[in-house]
Structure 1
Amino acid sequence: MLSTLAGSTPTPTPTPTRERDPFAIAHALSSIAYSSSSFTSPPSLATGSGLHAQCIKLGVSAGTFTTNHLLIFYKRRGHLAGALRVFDEMSHRNLFSWTAMVSGSVRNAAPDLGLQLFVSMLGNGLCPNEFALASALGACCQSAVANARLGLSVHGLAVKAGLDVNPYVGSSLMLMYARHGRTAAAEHVFAGIVFRDLACWNAMLEAYISNGYACDAMRTVVQLHRCGIRPDVFTYISAVKASSINSELNFGRQLHGLVIHNRFESSTSVMNALVDMYFRAGHGHSYLW
């Protein structure tokens, strides 16, 4: 105070470092990327782009931690071009960076790009984790040019990494084999997974249904029920389809009872599957009334 009265210039207050904190910016990006409130509209793409511009202005955009969160934001908002631009400008990419781009490509209907990025990731000496493997397998399912041999190669990588028994990877493997009509291979994967979650059971059901093995699908539904696993919408849709294909109306009626008991009547997809089943069996009128 005395120095100020004497006419000297006061020492400026240091600028808070919080606005330059990459963790704070990453947290903000993560918050808007995963925002899914049903009461308010999700943050717009411009909000994230504004944060991106702020990162560049503050000089924190070059950090891998911050740029990885930028990748997540852009991919979840469906702006693959923005994610690619950030990815191309990264001076250092880690496994998270590559996995985010592979999954982002698959998520935004660019499976061939996802596969190219996956191969490039391997070329850079990185060992894929379960998320990268599942994304690559998802790309094999979506791509019009990918064949079963490519899926087998990814399966080999999963075995080498010890992730072929991982439920997340296993369900993706089963769906990939189902896509290429290799039901026996899907069964082999299913048998090797010790701790099966509902996604694994649903993937096996999808493999059977998509290849016309209705009896096996019905048997799998019974096994799932005996294991005490609570079905979801996808389980019921596959199970009802199986009863339709096999003309097993009694089985379908039991499923209908379970749908009511477990309060899935609000699911349009499940109810449509039931309506289709009853009409195929010639009982559409009695069902509607």
Structure 2
Amino acid sequence: MIHDLRHTIEDIARSQLDNALEDGPEFDFVTDFAVPVPLRIVMQLVGIPQRDHKQLLSWLETFRGVMNTEYSAVESKNPAAMEATVDYFERLVDARKTDPQDDLISRLVVESELSDAEIGANCFDFIMAGQGTMSEFLSNALSLFDRHGLFEQPIQYEMEVVLEEVLRYRSPLQSRVRETTESVTLHGMEIPDGESVVLWIGAANRDSQKYDDPDTFVPDRDPDHLAFGSGTHVCIGAPLARLEGPIVLRTVVDRVDDIEIRHDEATPKPKASKLGFERLPVSVTPT
């Protein structure tokens, strides 16, 4: 289903760029493009009606707030904050049982053995994975393209390869907390069983034992990185991100003659666990 989205991704990227340029050549790349494009794409894939997009985004923000707070272990045991989300997906799954559509929810209802709750939970998780970090990924890529002159030489490098280096060099998700299931010794330090450990993905992706000159952005490096995690914790949205990123950024490159980023006016993400932008003002000259 993801690979069938190629033309949809192109259409959404084009229309959203047109929307961003309606009021002139200057706009905020984050708010006017990098946030709505991934949201529209993943909502269409999952099967969320357009009238409900804003409500789903609000629930996503609520969930992230619960998840990222220092009291998340306590707050996650209180279902009240997310009850409306659960009710919404229950109704949507029920509707697809009698009226299946060309979307992920319908495919899971018809073709999988997942329970209704599991279908709803997986779809919500997929939307979350396909929206937030994807927005940061696109903004990080645009910033790096500008700083390293890649807009002037877009055909010199393979877009898919460049974007893997973007993910290594500016990993949108910088850290995650995990709990050890057994004691382990790393570089002479023993970490006991049952300990909470902060995994710094961004630091791992700059490991000098893994990469030559790790603090330098090398467009054709094509690195093996941990931006999407690994093992059972690998990002559920990784396949969509790898398809979507190159298509969206090629669309931007093809639709503009010149793009200027006002780096001095950019606002970075305020959390150490995220690497991206709250605002990224740009000035664009369309083709």
TM-score tier, shorter chain, comes to under 0.3
Structure having the larger proportion of residues in helix: 1
Greater gyration radius: 1
- Larger RCO, structure (CA 8 Å, separation 6 or more): 2
> What is the TM-score with the length of structure 2 in the denominator?
0.22
Structure having the larger proportion of residues in strand: 2
> What is the TM-score with the length of structure 1 in the denominator?
0.22
